[in-house]
Amino acid sequence: MRIGVPREIKNNENRVGLGAAGVHELVDRGHEVVVETGAGIGSRVTDEDYRAAGATILDSAAEVWAQAEMIIKVKEPLPEEHDYLRKGQILFTYLHLAADQKLTEALLSSGATAIAYETVQLPDRSLPLLAPMSAIAGRLATQVGAYHLMAPLGGAGVLMGGVPGTSEANVLVIGGGVVGEQAAMMANGLHANVTVMDLNVSRLGQIATMHHGDIRTRYSTALDLTEEIRRADVVVGSVLIPGKRAPKLVTDEMVSTMKPGSVLVDVAIDQGGCFEHSRPTTHDDPTFRVHDTVYYCVANMPGSVPVTATAALNNATLPYILKIAGAGWRDAMRSDDALAKGLHTHEGMLAHAGTGEAHGLEVTSAEQIIA
């Protein structure tokens, strides 16, 4: 199979879909890899590194998309890339279609076979291709929350961990999954007062036990969430329902009760965000204000640490890339139910129920399409 790796064009997205080690593994198995010139620079992978691994370097994204049977990316195709999509081509990347009707329509009209990293799901319900980026985003959420608490950035002027004789910041993490736990762990490491809220009591118990009771846990009800929001200095929204829009848990009314200069970091923004006023922002312009609070809603947070993020992502995606390249997407999915859950579109058919629900579109089961 011929695999293509275009350069990412999202604002400050410096990750790349495939590094030199992944190229070498594919070429060693008899596949061809074409890479857009400069695609790996942000992740410190040079064109020379790719050539040494066996890739062919092409001058433009248009050439890569035109020549490749399978495109490996990091982020969803932006509008300027929609015309590259075509029937018979496999697209393997993060998609988050439930929050992007235009891209959903573009994929359906193109006939492309689109497979989303974020909905590949193992029998234990874990998300192996989302987990590494979730871990990075969770850790970054605490870092950016602490940073934006500084007064010159419009924050409350509070040091997250305080110093002896002063109060620590109160950090509220909504959602106890990978993002939430990593955010809570980082905040605890900075000596903040940390609370995690979730609907899964078993998961709250795991977090409390793993962190020896240093992280406070609380069952999430509307009344309790309202109380915790009022006292929080930093709120991290990390609620995820695979393939569906995130629920709007933090209302305008709740935010209006927060302390001036409090910071809200919405890690669920790729799926529409879990705060009522959330809207996607960029690394160039990451924040906006609501009721004298600071909202941070950057949709590609791991793109700010591309060397770490590219390596972690490639470690997770490469086995699936090799499987698809070696067997074709249908046979790969027939032998791997987890991968089959990643199928979203094929020849104008929508395969994911969450996306269909979000946009009012007819859904054809992935099992039927694969068969």
Q: Which residues are catalytic?
A: 96, 270
Query: Are 12 and 301 contacting, i.e. CB atoms less than 8 angstroms apart?
Result: no
Angle between helices 131-148 and 306-327 (to 10 degrees): 160
Token digits of residue 90? 């496999």
Query: Are 333 and 320 contacting, i.e. CB atoms less than 8 angstroms apart?
Result: no
Quick one: DSSP state of residue 206?
H
Distance CA 359, CA 341 (A): 19
Pairing of strands 70-72, 216-219: unpaired
CA dist 23 → 18, 57, 68, 177 (Å): 7, 12, 14, 32
Query: Are 254 and 226 contacting, i.e. CB atoms less than 8 angstroms apart?
Result: yes
- Any idea of the CA torsion for 161, 164, 167, 169, to the nearest 10 degrees? 0
165 in helix, strand or coil?
coil
